Amino acid sequence: MTSSSSLSEAAILSGLAVVLAGATLASLPFGQAPVAVAAACLFVTVVLLAISVRRLRRRLVMVAAVCERAANGDLEARITGIRETDALGGLMHSINHQLDTVDAFTREAMATSAVVRDGRFFRRIMRRGLRGGFARAADVINEATQAMADKFTQFARTTDRFETELGEAMSEVRRAAEDLGETADVMSTATGDCSDKAGRIDENARTMNAEVAGVAASVSQLVASVEEIGLQVSSAKEITDRAVEQSHTSRTAVAGLERSATQISEIVELIREIAEQTNLLALNATIEAARAGEAGKGFAVVASEVKGLATQSARATDRITEQISAIVSETDRAVSVISGVAETIGEMARISDTIAHAVEQQSTAARDISESMAAARTGTDNVSTDITIIAGSVGEAGAASHNLRDAATRLQSRASHLETEIESYLADARTL
């Protein structure tokens, strides 16, 4: 009999029971009646206690149900309609208070964690209203949130720096890879050109070699020809020398002829004078014959004959003079021609000398050329050899530039891939 529907009710009932029990004991010496009264009071007390205990049990069952709901995580459970102002009421308020605190802490912890889960860090557990262990737990969670916020900020900063620096580095790498690719292309083109050119040079060197050989042969022929020309020129000189000599002889002969013509002219002049005198004599004879008349007639005939002869003689001398003039004239022309020929021959002789000299020089030059050609041939041979080596090197450079191109392309591709990866990483990192 220690519990009641409320403790105050139990206390009152207990007091009543003591008073009734005292009264019962006090009334005992005066007869049986007080015993009956005491028994009735005890009965009433017991009945009231029984009612009180039933009410108390109902309330406790209700409280237990609330506690059970709370224990199962239903933090909505509360005790409402608390009328008791005694210890039981206090217990009920305490249970509500406890639930309010647990509820508040749970909501705060949940809400803070949810905000953190969503990647935001401004939220903290409200410390007010929480005491003791709740407050300490709140502090730890808040510290954890702050630590996460710091780490997140640091991470974001690192990510930013990473993005900036790596971004710059990557664009540099990409630019470098592009440059490298372009350089490889340029190099490839250059080596291609170079290879073509080396091929052409080689071809040209071979052609040149052949041509030099041809020229060398021609030069040898030229030397022979020049020597032949030299011989011919020498013999031509001898001939002209002889011609000059002969022209001199001709001139002397012609001069003799001229002299003879002059002497003939003198003789012809004498004959003409004789003919004139003969004519005069004939005229005189005629005149004399005429004086002699008939006797003189025959004489006149003779005189006439003589006159005719004289006239013929004169006429003959005239013709002779004419012919001698013609001869002299022809001779003069012959002299002039011979002089011209002699001059021409002299000229020719001088030219021949010049030619001979030139031929000599040509001969020397041709020999020099021949030697140069031999040297040139050695040179073109060397060019051929060197070009073959260069062509080999150019081929290697070409292959290398192709490899370089491939490497640059791969590098570009890797750089792009890396950039994509970094972007994706940063995108992921930013959602953390």
Partner 1 sequence: MQALKARGRSAKARAGAGSRKLTRTVVPSGRERVMGENDLIVSKTDLTGRITYANDVFLRVARLSEGQTVGAPHSIIRHPEMPRAVFKLLWETIKAGDEIFAYVNNLAADGANYWVFAHVTPSFGADGTIIGYHSNRRAPERRVLPFIMETYARLKAEEGRHASRAAGLNASSGLLGDLLREKGMPYDEFIFSL
What residue ranges bind partner 1 (CB under 8 A)? 75-76, 78, 80-82, 93, 96-97, 100-101, 103-104, 107-108, 111, 115, 120, 122-124, 126, 128-129, 131
CB of 121 to partner 1, least distance (A): 10
Single out the residue of 158, 323, 328, 347 nearest to residue 236, CA to CA: 347
Output the six-digit token pair for 306: 């003589």
Provide the minimum distance between the beta carbon of 48 and partner 1 in the complex, in angstroms, as a whole number.
Answer: 28
Would you say 76 or 428 has its CB closer to partner 1? 76
Residue 184's CB: how many other CB atoms inside 10 A?
20
Exposure class string for 219-256: b at 16+ Cβ within 10 A, else e: beebbeebeebbeebeebbeebeebbeebeebbeebee
- Shortest Cβ 148–partner 1 spacing (Å): 16
The SS3 of residue 253 is: helix
Q: Are 216 and 381 in contact (CB under 8 A)?
A: no
Give least dist CB 427 to partner 1, A: 22
SS3 21: helix
CB of residue 82 vs partner 1: minimum separation in angstroms? 7
Instruction: Estimate the crossing angle of helix 87-117 against helix 132-291, to 10 degrees.
Output: 10
The nearer residue to partner 1, 111 or 144, going by C-beta atoms, is: 111
Q: Which is nearer to partner 1, 77 or 198 (CB)?
A: 77
Tell me which residue of 430, 29, 394 sits closest to 197, measured CA to CA. Answer: 394
Task: Report DSSP state, residue 83.
Answer: -
Nearer to partner 1, 111 or 210 (CB): 111
Q: Token pair for residue 324?
A: 């001698």
Rank residues 75 and 374 by Cβ distance to partner 1 and give the closer one: 75
Token pair 């002497």: residue: 263
Contact between 391 and 265 (Cβ < 8 Å): no
Dist. CA 27–CA 100, nearest whole Å: 56
Smaller CB separation from partner 1, 76 or 294: 76
Q: How far is the CB of 418 from partner 1 (least distance, A)?
A: 35
CB nearer to partner 1: pick between 107 and 175: 107
CA 104 to chain centre: 73
In the complex with partner 1, the residue whose CB is nearer, 84 or 386, is: 84
Cβ closest to partner 1, residue 18 vs residue 110 = 110
Q: How far is the CB of 4 from partner 1 (least distance, A)?
A: 24
Which CB sits closer to partner 1, 106 or 262? Answer: 106
The least CB distance from residue 26 to partner 1, in Å, is 46
- Shortest distance, position 104 Cβ to partner 1, whole Å: 5
State the minimum distance, in angstroms, from the CB of residue 151 to partner 1: 19
Q: Which is nearer to partner 1, 31 or 132 (CB)?
A: 132
Q: Which two tokens stand for residue 15?
A: 């007091």
Cβ pair 288, 296 in contact under 8 A: yes
Distance in angstroms between the alpha carbons of the first and the last residue of the chain: 65
When the beta carbons of 115 and 281 are compared against partner 1, the nearer one is 115
Q: Which two tokens stand for residue 112?
A: 């803070």
Which 3 state secondary structure label does DSSP give 76? coil
Tracing tokens 């750089």 back to the chain, one arrives at: 415
The string of DSSP codes covering 310-356 is HHHHHHHHHHHHHHHHHHHHHHHHHHHHHHHHHHHHHHHHHHHHHHH
C-alpha–C-alpha distance, residues 399 and 405, integer Å:
10
Q: How far is the CB of 430 from partner 1 (least distance, A)?
A: 18
Alpha-carbon distance of 256 to 381, in angstroms, equals: 73
CB 135 within 8 A of CB 127: yes
Q: How far is the CB of 402 from partner 1 (least distance, A)?
A: 57
